[in-house]
């Protein structure tokens, strides 16, 4: 049976930190679906379509084959169940992520205990990366080319051409 995992997140935008987790998870799973899920506390810098475009171009750029991208307005765990995923993946960058992830994991377990959560530790050199940090750096003229795929830089230049 095909081993499918779902990696949910806002991906607003995707970063090399997310891609590192994805590439490592593909050593274990036959297919990983990056799921753009909605977080009611976040307004969204990029539209879902823009996020998808950046992700798909990053797959091409890095030669990532067994990954897909999708979007849900509902619960991530319901989506995972629907596509037959055995696992949901998340990254942990620091101890500060743990409490949030612990609660999210408990909520997901309450909704559907059959879908397991698996956590990957970020590599230390990527542990400071966040989507909002990328945005702040870009807007302040910092070179972000080592932190995000080329597709993200292209999208920033198109959407915010002043920098
Ligand atoms: N590398 C780089 N950055 C990382 C990272 C990594 N490995 N792991 C997390 N991050 C960053 C993200 O860039 C993001 O940064 P930001 O806050 O500056 O935007 C932050 O960590 C956390 O974002 P993300 O991983 O995208 O999680 P989220 O909290 O925005 O969203 C969902 C979490 C989308 C998975 C969750 O809200 C969800 O599943 N929503 C659907 C509804 C649902 O099922 N809710 C749960 C049950 S009630």
Give the 3-state secondary structure of residue 91.
strand
Q: Catalytic residue numbers?
A: 18, 42, 93, 131
Ligand 1, atom 45: closest residue by C-alpha? 75
Which phi and psi (to 5°) does residue 111 adopt? -70, -45
**CB-CB contact of 85 with 4 (8 Å):** yes
Nearest atom of ligand 1 to the alpha carbon of 133? 18
Residue 126 predicted with pLDDT over 70:
yes
CA 86 from chain centre, in angstroms, equals 18
Give the pLDDT band (50/70/90) at residue 30: very high
**CB-CB contact of 55 with 19 (8 Å):** no
The pLDDT, as a whole number, for residue 94 is 83
Mean pLDDT of 27-47: 92
C-alpha to C-alpha distance for 103 and 89, rounded to whole angstroms: 15
Query: Which residue ranges form the domains of the chain, and what is each CATH number?
Result: 4-159 (3.40.50.620)
Q: Which residues does a 6 A CB cutoff place in the pocket of ligand 1?
A: 8-10, 12, 15, 17-18, 21, 37-39, 42, 75-77, 91, 93, 104, 107-108, 122, 126, 129-132
Mean pLDDT of 21-38: 96
Mean pLDDT of 17-22: 96
**CB burial string 128-139: b at 16+ within 10 A, e below:** ebebeebbeebe
Residue 79 predicted with pLDDT over 90:
yes
Give the pLDDT band (50/70/90) at residue 162: low
Cis peptide preceding 13, ω within 30 of 0: yes
Give the pLDDT band (50/70/90) at residue 163: very low
pLDDT digits (tens, 9 = 90+) for 84-105: 998 999 999 988 889 999 999 9
**Mean confidence (pLDDT) of the chain:** 94
Give the pLDDT band (50/70/90) at residue 22: very high
**Residue to probe by mutation, ligand 1, list 98, 130, 133, most atoms within 8 Å of CB:** 130
The pLDDT, as a whole number, for residue 104 is 94
């Amino acid at each position: 049976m095909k081993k499918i995992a779902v990696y949910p997140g806002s991906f607003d935008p995707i970063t090399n930190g997310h891609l590192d987790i994805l590439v490592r998870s593909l050593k274990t799973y036959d297919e990983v679906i990056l799921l753009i899920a909605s977080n009611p506390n976040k307004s969204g810098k990029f539209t879902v379509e823009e996020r998808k475009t950046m992700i798909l171009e990053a797959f091409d750029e890095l030669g990532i084959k067994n990954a897909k991208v999708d979007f849900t307005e509902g619960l991530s765990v319901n989506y995972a169940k629907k596509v037959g995923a055995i696992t949901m993946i998340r990254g942990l960058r620091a101890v500060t992520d743990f409490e949030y992830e612990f609660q999210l994991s408990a909520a997901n377990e309450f909704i559907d205990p059959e879908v397991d959560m698996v956590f990957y530790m970020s590599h230390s050199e990527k542990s400071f990366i966040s989507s909002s940090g990328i945005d702040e750096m870009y807007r302040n003229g910092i070179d972000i080319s080592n932190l995000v795929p080329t597709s993200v830089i292209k999208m920033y230049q198109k959407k915010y051409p002043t920098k």
